Amino acid sequence: MVKSILMVVSLFAFARVGEEPRIPDAGDSAELAYATPLAETGDRCDMTIGSGDACASGTCVELAGGDAGMCIPLLDGVASVAAGIDHVCVSTSAGDVHCWGDNTFGQLGTAGQAGSEVSLGGAAAEVTAGERHTCALMASGAVRCWGDNALGQLGLGHTEMIGDDETPASATPLGGVATAIAAAGRHTCAILAGGALRCWGDGSLGQLGYGDRAAVGDDETPEARGDVPTAAPVSDVFVYPDHTCLELASNDNPCVGVTWNGKIVYPQ
């Protein structure tokens, strides 16, 4: 059997491409344990939510509090983890995506069915999450999103929820192959091959970077809106609930939106 390290991730998190999950502190309001393989040994462990202590050996994680009695299977080969307000999703090295938590807005993508695996019709390379929506970067470079869509968070050109009673069958039209993706709050950004950037969802604070406060994805697709204007190709993107920051090939680091301390970085 495989011995697994259990790590804990806060449900309130911002997304950064390639970022490792942080260990939550006492101020975090919700936590979830997940497992990553360490070495071939003879045991596996469980962890109780909100605790750093391993409990009885078994095959799944037992949740405490309001989710007492819910059992989450330990997953080997966790490649990425993403947390929304009240749900968590992980992708594995095998390309699977599993989600747990609240599914009021379809953010689990399981169409109300039992089990945690999301049916995406292909292998996922990475998963990211906003408040109540989730997106997966597929190995093919396509992006599939599901969950709350009131402000176009899914980038599909409409505002219907996806994932509550259907699986995420449609890719977000980007007009190119995505190489990285990040979400937080109610918006998502994807870097395309060549360094172009597309962002969609809530733009009320200018956080999409298009120079206005319009949403994208509610009545037009990211492909139709086009590239976010940048002075150089985008190397990395850092998405926060109300603002977005970029790392450009020129080593510049512009930000758009409103920061946590209320500073307006767009518009001036």
Q: pLDDT tens for residues 145-179? A: 999 999 999 999 999 999 999 999 999 999 999 99
- pLDDT at residue 236 greater than cutoff 50: yes
112: confidence class by pLDDT, cuts 50, 70, 90: confident
Please indicate, yes or no, if residue 220 is contained in any of the structural domains.
yes
Distance CA 149, CA 22 (A): 27
**Is residue 43, in this structure, part of any structural domain at all?**
yes
Task: Name beta bridge partners: 62.
Answer: 71
The pLDDT value given to residue 53: 39
d(CA 93, CA 97): 10
Q: What is the pLDDT of residues 14-73, one digit of tens each?
A: 344 444 333 233 233 333 333 333 222 233 333 334 343 344 444 555 555 555 455 666
Residue 103 falls within a domain, yes or no? yes
Is the pTM of the predicted complex or chain greater than 0.75? yes
Does residue 263 fall inside a structural domain? no
**What pLDDT is attached to residue 251?**
96
**Strands 31-40 and 46-47: what pairing?**
unpaired
Kindly state whether residue 267 falls inside one of the protein's structural domains.
no
Residue 21 forms part of a structural domain: yes
Q: What is the CATH number of the domain that holds 171?
A: 2.130.10.30
DSSP bridge partners of 15: 239
Q: How many domains does the chain have?
A: 1
| pLDDT of 228 higher than 60 | yes
Q: Rounded distance, CA 191 to CA 235, Å? A: 8
Lowest mean pLDDT among 18-27, 63-72, 84-93, 252-261: 18-27
In angstroms, the CA 181 to CA 146 distance is: 14
- Does residue 262 lie in a domain region? no
Whether residue 265 lies inside any domain: the answer is no
For the cut 90, the answer to whether the pLDDT of residue 141 exceeds it is: yes
Average pLDDT over residues 69-78: 69
Domain that holds residue 84: 2-257
